[in-house]
Structure 1
Amino acid sequence: MDLKDQLKNLFPDHQFTEEEKTEETNEGIWMQDDPIICKYEKRKGKPITILEGYTGADEDFKKLAKEIKTTLSVGGSFKDDRIIIQGDYRDRIMDILTSKGFKVKRVGG
């Protein structure tokens, strides 16, 4: 039972209007005009994918990093305003970001 169902139980006469509906696709993540850079590197012989160039709040970028890591079921970290994903997942990450409405630029390879 989600929050909307609970509210319906508490207030059965209330009618939801268009203003009260929230957009759940971006969950409040700030969208930018410049593209996010998606590049591939090898560190210590292992491939990694690096996302950089986000100009919004760090908390939004951390949310995005967590969502990408859980969607791909891979490890990674957030350091120095960059998302570092273990493995070469450039194509899948670019698909995820473009479906969210971000502009993505592929760099390297």
Structure 2
Amino acid sequence: MSWMYLIMAGIFEMTGVLMMNKLNKDRNAVSFLLLVAGFGLSFLFLSLAMQTLPMGTAYAVWTGIGASGGAVLGMIFYGEPRNFLRILFIAMVLGSAVGLKLVS
């Protein structure tokens, strides 16, 4: 169950990052509330995951999901560059998260 909490934390981290960009463009209360909710839920699920997972593993996977997910969402929604090397390095971050799961 803790790995599911960690995945949820990563998804909400991506939501928070997406709303951060939206808030910079729109500057309205809804964007701000969604940003706070995204990051708040992210930290909640991260803390639940860390009850049983080692801190280093949980934090590394959470950061990896958030960073790579934010980069992918930027490519999808905001037209950020989609070159081979960028996608390769995102895949390496995700591969590292899977590797941490396999050894813990």
- Does TM-score exceed 0.5, indicating one fold? no
More helix per residue: 2
More strand per residue: 1
Scaled by the length of structure 2, the TM-score of the pair is 0.29
